[in-house]
Amino acid sequence: MSVIDFGGITLGELVDQITEACPDTEALVYPDRGLRYTYTEFREACNQIAKGLMKLGVKKGDSTAIWATNVPEWVITQFGSPRMGAVLVTVNTNYKVFELEYLLKQSDSTTLILIEGTKTSDYIGMVYELCPELKECKPGELVSERLPYLKNVILIGDKKLPGMFTWAEVMKMAEEVADEELEAVMASLKPDDVINMMYTSGTTGFPKGVMLTHRNLILNGLGIGDSMKLTPQDRLCIPVPFFHCFGCVLGTMACVTHGTTMVPVEVFDARQVLWTIEKERCTGVHGVPTMFIMELEVMEKEKFDTSSLRTGIMAGSPCPIEVMKKVVDVMTADQIVITYGQTESSPGITNTTTDDPLELRVSTVGRTLPDVEMKIVDPETGQEVGPHTQGEICARGYNIMKGYYKMPEATAAAIDKDGWLHTGDLGTVDENGYLKITGRLKDMIIRGGENIYPREIEEFLYTHPCVKDVQVVGVPSVKYGEEVMAYIQLKPGSQLTEEEVKKFCGGQIARYKIPKYVAFVDGYPITASGKIQKFKLREMAVEMLGLQDAAKIETA
């Protein structure tokens, strides 16, 4: 497949060329549904949804939002809507009414594709609450007071509800659009057209719509898949959510650029992931560290054959070295790699490769992907720093977003005049270009003038035999500004006291880094993409420890 000019094609052309190269290779498999599409069948489904959207009146450049778990229709929409030039807007599966309204309005979405809901969320109820007019209108004729752009609502599944099309109805509409019409639209698309919009989690202010192009996504998926040595013989289990870059770039896009089989898991469940790997003889699996920890826990109690595993990616939040080693030893994924990046960089900036020795794969996040530049700068002066010196990580290359949708000031704050994306992450680089993440600019704890990086303390505490998982945060202190607090999850059957934790640290890490507070917890507040919300842990600490007065003290 080296003859394909990945940097000069659109997503529609990518699917065409991969299908020609691997027509009978399985593209998409859901063993629990009995669904198996070859690349030929997958392309046909992508064509159908593209033509169905055209029949609905969706035009090139229109925003089409999708609010669903990892169902087959998600993947078909991801690779089908770009064939007719619609911009796919991915909706976080944890969103509630307020967040959904903001996203649909801010993105100017004309179409919403959704499932009925999840165990904890009634999507249908929320949409009707937001657009009561939907109950009274014909499908495709919505006139909403709160969402003036929204016209079409498409429900995945067989249920027929007021104001909504079913997925099957839209797929059938494809028959009314000639292939030539779709081909004419496809021919008008350019690799640098925006084709995807993902909303950042909005840790500061409102979420921002990250505009990504065909080229951004294809080349990043290609580089990531190359680092895992993916081929049409590989089968990748994808339990990370599609609405996030991890799922739809490091997952599905890495597969499609290599003719690899996608084997998604609809909603993460550790046992379901292990069953899927065993049943489909998956050669790769993705996950955030929390997912791998849960899978390893299940494997301690039950037998699953994961011997087919070779590779995969652990990413999404800092990867504990001990967990990485266990995934290699217990799950036999001896070529598992780590990717570092963010949505604004499509997302990959650096990654380790299957050829890197294990020591580098567990202690660094690798080197830059092909055609991506990186530098470490002093956050105060902006000047580049030398090897082993901590600073802010900046990146430049094909992978950098076009900008935030309708937010020019935020875009200018993130990408400087020379095209460098300022990530807000801190790191160091060695002489060979291997990057270590040392924390977030905003996560850094400043205790009495000493800079403390939570990651360092977390890595140390992971070495304790009773510790399953740990998160370190700064909590307010009248005397020092901040103190260190550790939230620890214990391994089943283990016992540990606050005093024992402090004693374990004594003489091993600097006294000012030893946690003043230790709490033992069963889990952490996380986003739908598996990222731990440290700001919530800080809020919990203020309540738990009665630090409201210290929290009110303003700092510069």
Is 340 inside a domain boundary?
yes
Claim to verify: residue 221 and residue 364 sit in the same structural domain: yes
Is 171 inside a domain boundary?
yes
Claim to verify: residue 424 and residue 514 sit in the same structural domain: no
Kindly give, in sequence order, each residue whose CB lies less than 8 Å from that of residue 84, ignoring residues fewer than 6 positions away. 50, 51, 53, 54, 58, 60, 182, 185, 186
Tell me the mean pLDDT in the region 221-246. Answer: 97
Residue span of the structural domain in which 321 resides = 212-242+266-440
- Domain count of the fold of the chain: 3
pLDDT value at position 206?
72
pLDDT value at position 1?
57
Name the pLDDT band for 366 (thresholds 50, 70, 90): very high
- Tokens coding 170: 């839209």
Of residues 319 and 348, the one with the higher pLDDT is 348
Is 259 inside a domain boundary?
no
Name the pLDDT band for 317 (thresholds 50, 70, 90): low
pLDDT digits (tens, 9 = 90+) for 486-518: 999 999 999 999 999 999 998 788 788 899 999
pLDDT value at position 260?
98
Across the chain, mean pLDDT equals 93
Is 206 inside a domain boundary?
no
CA–CA distance, 80 with 27 (Å, rounded to integer): 14
pLDDT value at position 320?
77
Tell me the mean pLDDT in the region 404-417. Answer: 95
Kindly give, in sequence order, each residue whose CB lies less than 8 Å from that of residue 315, ignoring residues fewer than 6 positions away. 246, 250, 286, 288, 338, 339, 340
Report yes or no: 284 and 309 within 8 Å, Cβ to Cβ.
Answer: yes
Is 392 inside a domain boundary?
yes
Q: 413: domain CATH number?
A: 3.40.50.12780
pLDDT value at position 319?
76
pLDDT value at position 443?
80
Tell me the mean pLDDT in the region 2-24. Answer: 95
Least confident of 25-34, 126-135, 157-166, 287-296: 287-296
Q: What are phi and psi of 346, to 5 degrees?
A: 75, 0
Tokens 């650029």, located at residue = 257
Is 255 inside a domain boundary?
no
Is 251 inside a domain boundary?
no
Claim to verify: residue 401 and residue 527 sit in the same structural domain: no
- Measured N-to-C along each axis, helices 11-21 and 39-55 cross at an angle, to the nearest 10 degrees, of 150
The type of residue at 471 is Q
pTM of the model: 0.85
Claim to verify: residue 492 and residue 394 sit in the same structural domain: no
Q: 485: domain CATH number?
A: 3.30.300.30
pLDDT value at position 456?
78
Name the pLDDT band for 556 (thresholds 50, 70, 90): very low
Name the pLDDT band for 550 (thresholds 50, 70, 90): confident
**DSSP-assigned states of every residue in 19-45:** HHHSTTSEEEEETTTTEEEEHHHHHHH
